DNA sequence: GTCTCTGCAAACTGTTTGCAGGTAC
DNA sequence: GTACCTGCAAACAGTTTGCAGAGAC
């Protein structure tokens, strides 16, 4: 983790009377280093590979803290468990292949237009947006 | 339930070697008569009010059957349990108020445009779309 | 009469929590 | 030294399932 990143997290944690421990930093690092969203179990396994002493409870507790601090986002995709990813500058959404299970990300300015439309039409003030397109990815379409 | 509707469901169930029982019809009816999506527990309570003998297991089993038959859709909103709604002609999406919890529906042609964009750009073939905007509804904005 | 349905209780999955010892500051 | 942090096991919520009796056709 970069120094300024650690400092930012440390400041956020301190503002809530919490501490930055090695295990918390590890959970954050695992999420950060993954290319996309991970389920809690997978975060646990990857963290455990780096520090065998970490427990699943700690992973969950840390995820909730990071979520509350606004550093990590919890995704409710079409599955029974949640996925977690870093909250970063630019928002993105998901294309989920119902055949192979692959999840790809996309961005589109149409989404911002949609938010504007909801503001105008319903007076709704958007804070966050979840979009999942479920269907067939290009690979699976070609196979059939 | 209208006669042709019952016939349609009956045919679908029969094609899978299943029966149309009073309790299954009841679960379908509850979902149909509700204005929007309901959690399983709420479907159970409403069904129980009409037939006190129904059990939560039966509700869940029926929901899974209706889901498999394509009659009912399971929604994974930003909550710990699922919601269920009828699969009808026109798709719609959700605005969730993070303050009062109210969930409103919306439709927009921008969504179809987005699907087209994904098809062109990534070769993704869309089968279903889930969109949730989380934020403040007009009422809650006015209150603050 | 056969095969499906159903209620009940128990199991199961993902997640949270109480507690007692360990650790950061 | 005083919080806060952590692992463990137990608890929890939502959902599924095995079984034996009830019901549909």
Give the predicted TM-score (pTM) of the model. 0.74
Query: For chain B, where are the E strands, in sequence order?
Result: 38-39, 72-75, 83-86, 93-97, 103-106, 125-136
Nearest to B138 among A123, A138, A141 (CB): A123
What is the pLDDT confidence band of residue B116, given thresholds at 50, 70 and 90? confident
CA B68 to C1' C25 (Å) is: 56
Nucleotide C17, nearest residue via CA and C1': A57
For residue A126, give the 3-state DSSP assignment: strand
Question: In 3D, which of A99, A106, A113, A114 has the Cα closest to residue A133?
Answer: A106
User: Measured in whole angstroms, how far is the alpha carbon of residue B71 from the centre of its chain?
Assistant: 9
Do the chains contact at B138 and A132, CB–CB below 8 Å? no
Question: Could you read off the pLDDT of A24-73 as tens digits, one per residue?
Answer: 999 999 998 887 789 999 999 999 999 999 999 999 999 999 999 888 98
- Span(s) in chain B for CATH 3.30.1490.190: 93-143
Question: Could you read off the pLDDT of A109-141 as tens digits, one per residue?
Answer: 788 888 888 987 898 999 889 899 989 999 988
Spatial strand order of the sheet with A83-86 comes to A38-39, A83-86, A72-75
Question: In 3D, which of B37, B29, B17, B116 has the Cα closest to residue B79?
Answer: B37
- The CATH classification number of B93-143 equals 3.30.1490.190
Please compute the mean of the pLDDT values over residues B111-128 and round it to a whole number: 87
Is the domain spanning A3-86 CATH 3.40.50.880? The answer is: no
Question: Could you read off the pLDDT of A61-107 as tens digits, one per residue?
Answer: 999 999 998 889 898 888 889 999 888 755 788 998 888 888 888 88
Measured in angstroms, the CA of B83 and the nearest CA of chain A are apart by 12
Do strands A93-97 and A125-136 pair parallel, antiparallel, or not at all (unpaired)?
Answer: parallel
Contact list in A for residue B79 (CB cut-off 8 A) is: 76
Do the chains contact at A111 and B114, CB–CB below 8 Å? yes
- Span(s) in chain B for CATH 1.10.10.10: 3-86
User: Measured in whole angstroms, how far is the alpha carbon of residue A9 from the centre of its chain?
Assistant: 16
């Amino acid at each position: 983790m970069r120094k300024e990143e650690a400092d930012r997290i440390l400041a956020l944690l301190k503002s809530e009377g919490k501490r930055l421990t090695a295990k918390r930093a590890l959970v954050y690092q695992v999420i950060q280093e993954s290319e996309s969203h991970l389920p809690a179990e997978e975060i646990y396994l990857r963290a455990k590979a780096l520090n065998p002493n970490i427990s699943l409870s700690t992973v969950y507790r840390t995820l909730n803290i990071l979520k509350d601090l606004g550093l990590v986002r919890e995704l409710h995709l079409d599955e029974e468990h949640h996925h977690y990813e870093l909250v970063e500058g630019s928002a993105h959404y998901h294309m989920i292949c119902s055949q192979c299970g692959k999840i790809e990300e996309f961005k589109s300015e149409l989404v911002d237009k949609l938010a504007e439309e909801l503001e105008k039409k319903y007076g709704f003030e958007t804070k966050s947006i979840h979009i999942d397109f479920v269907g067939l990815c290009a690979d699976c379409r070609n196979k059939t």
